[in-house]
């Protein structure tokens, strides 16, 4: 299933369940000095969760495909990008939101129906995690999804308590994982890895083996359901929110990997045209290590997406703040292109490909096509 179909199916599924489909907000958060970039679907709804703004939908339910950047600030993935299967500077987060309407029960039911009925994932290939103190979440997974305790892992605050930043709305969460060893045709345990999770035929794990397998990429988290209950204060204490709410986030790139039976997000249809645009520009590549070549191409494909979308939202290269992060992303991309033997602008062509392939969903890309390409080229030339 192509990524565009997953995105559409998600929004339509939640629309049928009374959610209003709302557009993605800008990558530059409106009036929020606590945050460098929009890093999750809930950012545009922060004030609604806090009770300071009315629900944007009369049903108190909404759904979005949200542009996100995690580079700079609290959620900063920049240095990992290219070297792992799932880190990105820019990614799309699919989400459904309840602003004081439904809570844990319906959120769990919707998610389970979407992954099993709409996506058709086999329940035996799914696992979930819950916050270890959240007995209600565990009981709901048992009741609604029929999962046994051996498929539900209780984890601590680091994994299963989500917060947007140092302050603001937060709460315990529950996450859905897919066993890639069972669904991806190319999955294999990393070289030298040991432990029961490295055996693809094994399906029963204790918590420790599951966590190790998740860290090593056998189990991929595709959806995080946050039960928004608190507002984290400056002194670290938790004040209850006026109405318990739901914020969920499902990474489109990860779901695409699962649905396309591949272990690495960069092997999905979201990235293949971009990687092809990198390849078209390469001559003899000086690097001899094939893994380094692949990583460099992935860095360029990833960073081109962030550049196109940040420039479309009015961020310009500069020496401070958001513009500085944009400049760092661009320069990292140029550096990797240099390692591939390029001595002239490379990202510009890839950025144009991002516009070509995504402007139907995000029209701002087409509206600013010229400025995006011109700015990228000028910055590339300057750094070269
Ligand atoms: N805010 C949560 C996350 O980013 C769910 O969307 O994971």
- The predicted structure's pLDDT at residue 174: 98
- The predicted structure's pLDDT at residue 246: 98
Pocket of ligand 1 (CB under 6 A): 40-42, 95, 162, 224, 226, 247-249
CA of 251 to the centre of ligand 1 (A): 9
* Beta-bridge partners for 21: 63
Tokens coding 262: 């591949």
* Cβ contact 173:247 at 8 Å: no
Pocket test for ligand 1, best of 77, 224, 245 (most atoms within 8 A of CB): 224
Q: How far is CA 121 from the centre of its chain?
A: 19
Handedness of CA 72, 76, 77, 80 (dihedral sign): positive
CA of 299 to the centre of ligand 1 (A): 24
CA of 306 to the centre of ligand 1 (A): 19
CA of 211 to the centre of ligand 1 (A): 19
Q: List all residues 6 or more positions away from 226 whose beta carbon is below 8 Å from its beta carbon.
A: 42, 162, 170, 171, 172, 173, 246, 247, 248, 249
Tokens coding 65: 């495909």
Pocket test for ligand 1, best of 35, 39, 42 (most atoms within 8 A of CB): 42
Tokens coding 329: 């992303």
Pocket test for ligand 1, best of 14, 49, 107, 247 (most atoms within 8 A of CB): 247
CA of 4 to the centre of ligand 1 (A): 21
Q: Compute φ and ψ for 280, nearest 5 degrees.
A: -55, -25
Name the residue with tokens 């996506």: 119
* Cβ contact 282:338 at 8 Å: no
Q: What is the DSSP letter of 53?
A: S
pLDDT of the chain, 384 residues: tens digit per residue? 999 999 999 999 999 999 999 999 999 999 787 789 999 999 999 999 999 999 999 999 999 999 999 997 666 778 999 999 999 999 999 999 999 999 999 999 999 999 999 999 999 999 999 999 999 999 999 999 999 999 999 999 999 999 877 888 899 999 999 999 999 999 999 999 999 999 999 999 999 999 999 999 999 999 999 999 999 999 999 999 988 999 999 999 999 999 999 999 999 999 999 999 999 999 988 888 999 999 999 999 999 999 999 999 999 999 999 999 999 999 999 999 999 999 999 999 999 999 999 999 999 999 999 999 999 999 999 999
Counting from 1 in the atom list of ligand 1, the atom nearest the Cα of 75 is 4
Q: In this structure, how many other beta carbons lie within 10 angstroms of the beta carbon of residue 289?
A: 8
CA of 249 to the centre of ligand 1 (A): 5
**CA-nearest residue, atom 2 of ligand 1:** 249
b/e 94-116 (16+ beta carbons within 10 angstroms → b): bbbbbbbbbbbebbbbbbbebbe
CA of 26 to the centre of ligand 1 (A): 17
Q: Which long-range contacts (CB under 8 A, 24 or more apart) does 352-357 make?
A: 352/277, 353/273, 353/274, 353/276, 353/277, 353/304, 354/274, 354/304, 354/305, 354/307, 354/308, 354/309, 355/308, 356/273, 357/273, 357/274
Pocket test for ligand 1, best of 65, 93, 169 (most atoms within 8 A of CB): 93
**CA-nearest residue, atom 1 of ligand 1:** 40
d(CA 228, CA 35): 18
- The predicted structure's pLDDT at residue 242: 86
Counting from 1 in the atom list of ligand 1, the atom nearest the Cα of 93 is 6
CA of 164 to the centre of ligand 1 (A): 8
- The predicted structure's pLDDT at residue 73: 66
CA of 186 to the centre of ligand 1 (A): 28
Counting from 1 in the atom list of ligand 1, the atom nearest the Cα of 41 is 6
Could you tell me how many helices (H) and strands (E) the chain has, helices first?
14, 9
DSSP string, 264-275: -GGGSTTTHHHH
**CA-nearest residue, atom 6 of ligand 1:** 249
d(CA 344, CA 334): 9
- The predicted structure's pLDDT at residue 26: 98
Tokens coding 195: 């432990």
CA of 154 to the centre of ligand 1 (A): 18
DSSP string, 119-150: S---GGGEEEEEETT-HHHHHHIIIII---GG
């Amino acid at each position: 299933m192509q990524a565009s179909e997953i995105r559409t199916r998600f929004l339509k599924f939640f629309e049928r369940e009374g959610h209003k489909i709302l557009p993605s907000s800008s990558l530059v958060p409106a009036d929020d000095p606590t945050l460098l970039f929009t890093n999750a679907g809930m950012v545009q709804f922060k004030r609604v969760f806090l009770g300071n703004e009315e629900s944007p939908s009369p049903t108190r339910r909404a759904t979005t495909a949200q542009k996100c950047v995690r580079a700079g600030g609290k959620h900063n993935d920049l240095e990992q990008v290219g070297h792992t299967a799932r880190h990105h500077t820019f990614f799309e987060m699919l989400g459904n939101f309840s602003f004081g309407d439904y809570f844990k029960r319906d959120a769990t039911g919707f998610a389970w129906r979407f992954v099993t009925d709409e996506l058709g994932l086999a329940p035996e290939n799914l696992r979930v995690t819950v916050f270890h103190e959240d007995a209600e979440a565990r009981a709901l997974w048992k009741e609604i999804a029929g999962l046994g305790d051996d498929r539900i892992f209780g984890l601590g605050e680091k994994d299963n308590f989500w917060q947007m930043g140092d302050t603001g709305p937060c709460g315990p969460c529950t996450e859905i994982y897919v066993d890639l060893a069972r669904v991806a045709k190319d999955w294999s345990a990393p070289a030298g890895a040991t432990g029961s999770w490295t055996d693809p035929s094994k399906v029963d794990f204790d918590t420790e083996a599951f966590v190790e397998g998740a860290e090593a990429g056998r189990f991929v988290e595709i959806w995080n359901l946050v039960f928004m209950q608190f507002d984290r204060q400056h002194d670290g204490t938790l004040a209850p929110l006026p109405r318990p709410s739901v914020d969920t986030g499902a990474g489109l790139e990860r779901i695409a990997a699962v649905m396309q039976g591949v272990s690495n997000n960069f092997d999905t249809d979201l990235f293949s045209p971009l990687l092809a645009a990198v390849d078209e520009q390469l001559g003899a590549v000086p690097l001899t290590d094939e893994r380094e070549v692949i990583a460099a191409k992935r860095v360029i494909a990833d960073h081109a997406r962030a550049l196109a979308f940040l420039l479309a939202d009015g961020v310009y290269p500069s020496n401070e703040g958001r513009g500085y992060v944009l400049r760092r992303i661009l320069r990292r991309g140029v550096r990797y292109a240099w390692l591939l033997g390029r001595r002239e602008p490379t990202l510009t062509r890839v950025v144009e490909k991002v516009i070509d392939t995504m402007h139907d969903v995000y029209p701002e890309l087409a509206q600013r096509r010229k400025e995006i390409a011109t700015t990228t080229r000028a910055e590339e030339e300057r750094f070269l």
